Chain A
């Protein structure tokens, strides 16, 4: 059955499975549907009932009419048939002979009358009538007049008992006899012996035109199939029927004995039949009535059946819908539950993540402590034992103890670095900003680095400009960075000079920056090594770890620290010459300071029209120009190149690039001059320019190994000190390179006064020629010179191993920067170190500048 156990349990399962609130809703919904259906059904029932009754009523008249029409057809058909049969009877009769009445003696001897056709007495046989009916069907009779009556002398009309109705007489009260007596034929429906017939009566006349008998043919109505059919043509719902009533309200049809006939009888008789409704209509030709009887409950039945069918269908649909709804609701609630549990999971996960985060912090904190404590014990106790061993004179233990201590310290350094790095990677490293005096911090660091310096017999030169002042930054991190760089410098240099130079550098828009430069004269690095430098766990070379110690993490951490503070570390190096690290930090560190990145993000490198932004790269060195151009192109800029000043100016005027990178050191027209021309020309003045130079502002010679510097006007005392420091012997030879004659003379006089031998050159190239002949103990170099300016001289000298070791004291104007600025109308955009070309940084600067100039347009 439909509700098999399996299906029930499935339904139960799903039902139970449903979300409780959803289940309630479904139940309520279901009840609502049922109630609605119920009410609608009930209302509908009545309405439909009425409708059906009305319809039935309308239809009833139609049907009645139709039945009557059919009966009319029957009537006309059989009327024709009756006349045809009559003709046949007459013909057959006349064939026998002319009709006459004769007196004959009967078998009992008495005289009686008989009708003769010809010489054949009719009462003798049935040949005539049977013959006719065998041809035409129906019945036939020959009547003989007997006084006032007409008697059937030969017939095949049957009595109720089944015998021929010979001897019966024509109904004396009927319609037929009236017309026969008038000498007229009769055609119509009459009752013969209680049964209705469609009949025809025609008088038989003898030779004297006297009516001596009647011809009769007739068809019994109730045998007429067509009548039956007509009446049964239409159904009246279930129990209703049509009936045929004669003039006396006798039920002709349905046939006697049938239940319907009984009902019809009762209906006619007017007995209480409340469930029946009756329509009657006269059928004139026979003077009959057609009755339609409708069983009223049928209507209800029909209505009910209709509604039942409709309901069944609807119910089926609803059931299907409900099943689907249940199923869907089941799924929904599963989904809901899953969503809820997923939400819970998410909440748990979030809580777990947060607690894991906290755990990570706690872990780092605990690990810090846990790892360092035993290390401290190892280091501390071994130190103590060293002291005690020395005290009691057992110095044989000391080396071993020192090894223990050394290993412990190394391990501790590793631990510290690893923990630092973990913290950084976990995003847990934070900045603690405070204000501090730079000179104090530097002195502190210098103090801590002393032992390392002594170990390799290195000398530390500290140069702090007077205007350093205070810095706001994470003191610990700055110190750690400086210490890291200084200890690296010391590690990789033997008996050399390490220079720490600190300067405050103002920038146009980003406030002051502090630059720390750590240079050494140590083993240096190849380009390959430089590339690997800032990667964790690779020292420049795997073997360097073993030889030089260290953890390999220091630079990575230092760089991260600098980046966190909004700065960076750059490096330049030459193998066997030395290395310089430059730390650039804001003088005032703010958290989350990345204005350049924002600028970069804010602009795209395409103009609105979709064309790439173009940059004019001006550099006489084809390799440098190449590098620059390629770096820019990789970032989506298009580049134009110029290798000389005049060319650059022409191209700038013609092509109007979106930015220009300008090398400072160029033969012929140097970068500064080009810049000045560009800025004075209104057509090119607005193009942002990036100055690219080997050296920065006032840091001048240090990157290239200048040993010291002096500012103009040169102070004699300072000069003496510096010379003494670097030249060594008081009678050493000094080469003065200075283009201005007055300055040159002054320097020469000052030096000669101190007993030094002085030679001079008025520009860089002259100096190089002089150097080819004689090697001075020291060079005094003015930077800003024509032909070959000081920068270029320095770079040339540095490439020559023979000359590179000569100490160079650079002389520069103290306010070089402001002179430049005045000269250039404050339009210097930025200066970037060319040597350690940091592509990213260059691009950032270019983008920032373009963005800035776009904003100001």
Chain B
């Protein structure tokens, strides 16, 4: 079972995305803020992390930076979920070390493709739905 760590503070976005990912066969872990995200990344052994960039406690950029600085965790692909065309969001995400990014509003097929691509990169395969 591929485990996805979803770090998203907005309840509705969280609900939508986690349910849809679950229906696609992913095991979804949920964190509601940056700190929890880091904690779960360490303890939950996710295969891939979807990181909303605007988070409380620690924001997405900082969380990603810390993840990528950690020798154990840096191998986990991180896909940043950024707001649409806000100047600098995309650049910042990539600068912080995200492996890819997707813009909100989430288009599931597009996101699934990106997840698949990242999993393939680290030698894992997508779950059968």
Interface set, chain A 329-386, CB cutoff 8 A to B: 365, 368-369, 372-373, 375-377, 379-381, 383-384
Output the least CB separation between B117 and chain A (Å).
13
Tell me whether A140 is interfacial, beta carbon within 8 Å. Answer: no
B81 CB to closest chain A CB (Å) equals: 11
B12 in contact with A368 (CB, 8 Å): no
The closest CB in chain A to the CB of B105 belongs to A376
Closest to A379 in B: B105
A476 contacts B90, C-beta separation under 8 Å? yes
Q: Does A432 sit within 8 A of B, measured CB to CB?
A: yes
B120 at the interface (CB under 8 A from A): no
Are B83 and A372 neighbours in the complex by a CB distance under 8 Å?
Answer: yes
- The 8 A CB mask of B67-92 against A (1 = contact, 0 = none) is 00000000000000001111110110
Please give, as numbers and ranges, the residues of chain B lying within 8 Å of A36 by CB-CB distance.
none
Decide if B45 is an interface residue (CB 8 Å cutoff).
no
| Distance (whole angstroms) from the CB of A387 to the closest CB of chain B | 7
Tell me if B121 counts as interface (CB < 8 A to partner A).
no
**Closest Cβ of chain B: how far from A535's Cβ, in Å?**
23
Cross-chain contact B105 with A384 (CB below 8 angstroms)? no
B124 within 8 Å of A by Cβ? no
Q: Hey, what's the 0/1 contact readout for B93-115 against A, CB within 8 Å counting as 1? A: 00000000000111010000000
* In the bound complex, CA of A381 to CA of B18 (Å): 12
The contact of B12 among A365, A373, A476, by CB within 8 Å, is A373
- A384→B20 contact, CB < 8 A: yes
Known: A384-B20, A476-B90. Contact between A375 and B105, CB under 8 A? yes
Nearest B-chain residue to A376, judged by Cβ = B105
Q: Determine if B10 is an interface residue (Cβ-Cβ < 8 Å).
A: yes
Cα–Cα distance between A239 and B19 once the two chains are bound (Å) = 127
A827 to B111, CA, bound (A): 53
**A596 to B108 CA separation, bound complex (whole angstroms):** 46
* Candidates A373, A416, A430, A480; contact of B13 at CB < 8 Å: A373
Across the two chains, which residue of chain B brings its CB closest to A373?
Answer: B10
Contacts of B42 in A (CB 8 A): none
Look across to chain A and name the residue whose beta carbon is closest to the beta carbon of B24.
Answer: A387
B122 at the interface (CB under 8 A from A): no
Chain B, interface size: which category?
20 to 34
In the complex the two chains form, what is the Cα distance from A15 to B60 in whole Å? 65
Q: Does A412 contact B (CB under 8 A)?
A: yes
Contact A432 B88, beta carbon cutoff 8 Å:
yes
Least Cβ–Cβ distance between B9 and chain A, in angstroms: 11
Contact of A430 among B10, B84, B87, B90 (CB under 8 A): B87
Partner of B84, one of A379, A391, A416: A416
Closest to A428 in B: B87
A380 pairs with B13, CB closer than 8 A: yes
Cα A327 to Cα B58 with chains together (Å)? 65
- The chain A residue sitting closest to B104, CB to CB, is A376
B20 — nearest CB in chain A belongs to which residue?
A: A384
A-chain residues with CB within 8 Å of residue B87 when the two chains form the complex:
430, 432
Residues 415-440 of chain A, each 1 if its beta carbon lies under 8 Å from chain B, else 0: 01000100000000010101000000
Contact with B105, one of A368, A380, A430 (Cβ below 8 angstroms): A380
| Interchain nearest-CB distance for A318 vs B (Å) | 70
One digit per residue, 1 when the CB lies within 8 angstroms of any chain A CB and 0 when it does not, for chain B 48-62 equals 000000100000000
A376 touches B90 (CB 8 A): no
Instruction: Indicate with 1 or 0, residue by residue over A697-732, a CB within 8 angstroms of chain B CB atoms.
Output: 000000000000000000000000000000000000
Smallest CB-CB separation from B54: which chain A residue? A369
| Neighbouring A residues of B90 by C-beta, 8 Å | 476
Residues of B within 8 A of A377 (CB): 12-13, 16
Report yes or no: A372 in contact with B104, Cβ–Cβ below 8 A. Answer: yes
Whether the pair B106, A376 counts as a contact (CB closer than 8 A) is yes
A369 and B23 alpha carbons, distance in the complex (Å): 27
Q: Give the contacts of A722-772 with B (CB-CB under 8 A).
A: none
User: What's the Cα separation between A584 and B10 when bound, in Å?
Assistant: 41
The reply to whether A432 and B20 form a contact with Cβ atoms under 8 Å apart is no
Residue of B16, B17, B19, B105 near A372 (CB, 8 A) is: B105
Most chain A beta-carbon contacts within 10 A, residue among B16, B54, B90: B16
| A380 close to B83 (CB less than 8 A) | no
Question: Which residues in A have their C-beta under 8 angstroms from that of B106?
Answer: 376, 380
Give every chain A residue within 8 A of B83 (Cβ-Cβ): 368-369, 372
Report 17 cross-chain contacts, Cβ distance below 8 Å, ordered by A residue: A365-B86, A368-B86, A375-B105, A376-B12, A376-B13, A376-B104, A379-B105, A380-B12, A381-B12, A383-B108, A387-B23, A412-B105, A416-B84, A434-B91, A476-B85, A476-B90, A480-B85
Which residues of B are at the interface with A, using a C-beta cutoff of 8 A?
10, 12-13, 16-17, 19-20, 23, 54, 83-88, 90-91, 104-106, 108
Q: A376-B16, A380-B16, A383-B20 are in contact. List 17 more A-B contacts (CB 8 A).
A: A365-B86, A368-B83, A368-B84, A369-B83, A373-B10, A376-B12, A376-B106, A379-B105, A380-B12, A380-B20, A380-B106, A384-B20, A387-B23, A388-B23, A416-B84, A432-B91, A480-B85
